[in-house]
Amino acid sequence: MKNNNINNLLKSNGFSVTKPRVQIIKILQNSNSPIGIDAIINKTDGKIAISSAYRIIADLLDADLINAFQSPENKLLVELIQNNTKHHHHLYCQSCKKVLDIDIDEKLEKNIDSLIRKISKQNNIEITNHSFELFGKCNDKSHE
């Protein structure tokens, strides 16, 4: 995404274009997997304050521009939602902290969606999204 596209993305979602916002979006865009806020700050060489990074991430979450999930260590991991990003889930290695995108069989995903609609109806709550994360340990012996 070029700077003009990032600027348009921010403006179309009611945000002013600031250097920290653009920088964080670029970092998320260049990341191959969900990334923690501490890693985002490291990639800015400390030029963005922790409080600013959390505020920007919260704003981007509220605007549905990023997805987030908690690691087993309760770290917030985020990824940019892009036009070509389809709904997916994550597999998290508790040893090396690697996060992989995983696709679930379409039939299973439809069953999950059906279950979500049923739960929504039973509890009279509109469910707007869901996430499904798997946690485990990879077979890389160097982690031991």
Do 135 and 92 meet the contact criterion of CB atoms below 8 Å apart? yes
CATH superfamily entry for domain 86-144 = Ferric-uptake regulator, C-terminal dimerisarion domain (3.30.1490.190)
126 Cβ contact partners less than 8 Å away, ≥ 6 residues apart: 120
Q: What is the pLDDT of residues 70-129, one digit of tens each?
A: 888 888 999 998 755 667 788 888 888 888 888 888 898 899 999 999 999 999 999 987
Task: Please state which CATH class domain 1-83 belongs to.
Answer: mainly alpha
Domain ranges of the chain: 1-83, 86-144
Q: For the segment 5-52, what is each residue's pLDDT rounded down to a tens digit?
A: 888 889 998 999 999 999 999 999 998 889 999 999 999 988 999 999
